[in-house]
Structure 1
Amino acid sequence: MAQKNNPVFHGLVLAGGESRRMGKDKALLTIQGKSWLEYSCDRLVQSGCEHVYVSRNQGDGIADLIPNKGPVGGVYSVLHYICEHEIELDWLTVIPVDMPLLTVDAIRHLHQTVEQTGKSAFYSDSLFPFSIRVNTDLREKTSLAVNGDKTNSIRYLLKQCGAAEIASTTNMQLTNVNTPEEWSRVAHNNFI
């Protein structure tokens, strides 16, 4: 673990979904001249993450170790990678690739909250983004979340980690964009 005075944040972009409702790979759609994947990675770096991982079954991403487990499967696979490579960090901040309105300030606010409270946290309006403390218990809890019949969810994982809900400044930042209609609405209303 890193020193308590200077916590180390790493980021994770979940980009392993099938994008069925969008009809094309959301990670490759563009925003401000960048793919959603690049844009999401940039947001995490700008918010203070020292390193960013990508959960993705294509390209240079970290592939799911257990197929078809959704976001919790991506978190599990990245934590396995972190443990295997003996990477030291205190917090893992997780965002989905399909949240293009998420701001750097919203991620920084999440970081400030977990630093002040010492607890994992997420916004009350959405399970994403969240910052989760990386410790010896986390891998076990993630394993239970990904291998259980009824527990295969981020909500279950956050509950098991005692994550705190924090109020968000605006709901729009926490909007997932899953369909062409939603993307059109966001782009048309000049939210981006």
Structure 2
Amino acid sequence: MKTVGILLAGGKSRRFGSPKAFATHEGHEFYHYSLDALRPFCDEIVVVARPEFVRCFPDTVHVTTDLETFAGMGPLAGILSAMDKIAADRYVVLPCDMPFIVAGVMGKLLELHVGDISAVTVDGKRHPLVSIWNANVKPSIRQALLDDNRRVMHVQSQHEGQWIEGVLLTDTPEIAFKNVNTPCELERG
């Protein structure tokens, strides 16, 4: 079974003030943490970034941009663009703004994955982009974008899937699944 990692790094980072993928925590850029969490479980990893930032990544990282038809349409467009770029049986998705995520968490998520889509929830807060998507979901993503419906959870609700409690993946879910949206949030860690 071929597994491809999708690292979403195409957001506008309005609240952060600069591209979150390149923000640093303990001397490493955010995107490195997501790559490290995906690497042990993926045959390939593709980073989906905005065109102006493609050259900011090293040559060793496989980077793509949104499909032209869906450029700038958010995370669903990024997921579909990566699926179009590399065929696989399943895709492990992570955003670039979770510098506290570790490989063990992603390994457990893969172990618990059943159905078409698995995603994480922590204390009632859903994290739809920490997820696994089977390839058969691709037509639904494309149709949602053609209908101008950019909601990730809309597509997830159309398929057999599950929300996995973060406590099943780590003893510290409130830290592991923390989205860092502002520099102050990083300081509070």
Q: TM-score normalised by the shorter chain: which range applies?
A: 0.7 to 0.9
Residues in 2 aligned to 1:55 and 1:18: alpha-carbon distance in whole angstroms: 13
Residues in 2 aligned to 1:142 and 1:55: alpha-carbon distance in whole angstroms: 16
Residues in 1 aligned to 2:174 and 2:161: alpha-carbon distance in whole angstroms: 20
C-alpha displacement of 1:32: 3.6
C-alpha displacement of 1:118: 4.4
Q: What is the TM-score when the length of structure 1 is the normalising length? A: 0.81
The aligned amino acid for 1:96 is P
Residue 122 (structure 1) aligned to one of 119, 126, 147 = 119
Aligned partner of 2:82 in structure 1 is 78
Aligned partner of 1:4 in structure 2 is none
C-alpha displacement of 1:139: 2.1
**Is contact 2:37-2:102 (8 Å) kept?**
yes
C-alpha displacement of 1:30: 1.8
Residues in 2 aligned to 1:122 and 1:96: alpha-carbon distance in whole angstroms: 13
Q: Does residue 59 of the first structure (1) align with residue 32 of the second (2)? A: no
Residues in 2 aligned to 1:152 and 1:41: alpha-carbon distance in whole angstroms: 25
Residues in 2 aligned to 1:78 and 1:175: alpha-carbon distance in whole angstroms: 24
DSSP 3-state at the match of 2:106 = helix
Flag structure 1 segments of 5+ consecutive residues without an equivalent.
1-6, 187-192
Flag structure 2 segments of 5+ consecutive residues without an equivalent.
56-62, 168-172
DSSP 3-state at the match of 1:127 = strand
Q: Does residue 143 of the first structure (1) align with residue 142 of the second (2)? A: yes
The aligned amino acid for 1:73 is A
Aligned partner of 1:163 in structure 2 is 161
Residues in 2 aligned to 1:54 and 1:143: alpha-carbon distance in whole angstroms: 19
The aligned amino acid for 1:64 is D
DSSP 3-state at the match of 1:140 = helix
Residues in 1 aligned to 2:111 and 2:2: alpha-carbon distance in whole angstroms: 12
Residues in 1 aligned to 2:2 and 2:115: alpha-carbon distance in whole angstroms: 13
Residues in 1 aligned to 2:14 and 2:115: alpha-carbon distance in whole angstroms: 37
**Is contact 2:92-2:132 (8 Å) kept?**
yes
Aligned partner of 1:108 in structure 2 is 107
Residues in 2 aligned to 1:146 and 1:73: alpha-carbon distance in whole angstroms: 7
Deviation per CA, 1:69-113: give whole Å up to 9, x if none.
Answer: 11011111111212xxxx3x2210000000111121211111001
DSSP 3-state at the match of 2:110 = helix
Deviation per CA, 1:22-73: give whole Å up to 9, x if none.
Answer: 1111111123432111221121003x11211101023162111212211011
Q: What is the TM-score when the length of structure 2 is the normalising length? A: 0.82
Residues in 1 aligned to 2:98 and 2:43: alpha-carbon distance in whole angstroms: 21
Aligned partner of 1:178 in structure 2 is 181
Q: Does residue 95 of the first structure (1) align with residue 90 of the second (2)? A: no
DSSP 3-state at the match of 2:47 = strand
**Is contact 1:31-1:39 (8 Å) kept?**
no
- The structure 1 segments of at least 4 consecutive aligned residues displaced by more than 6 Å after TM superposition are none
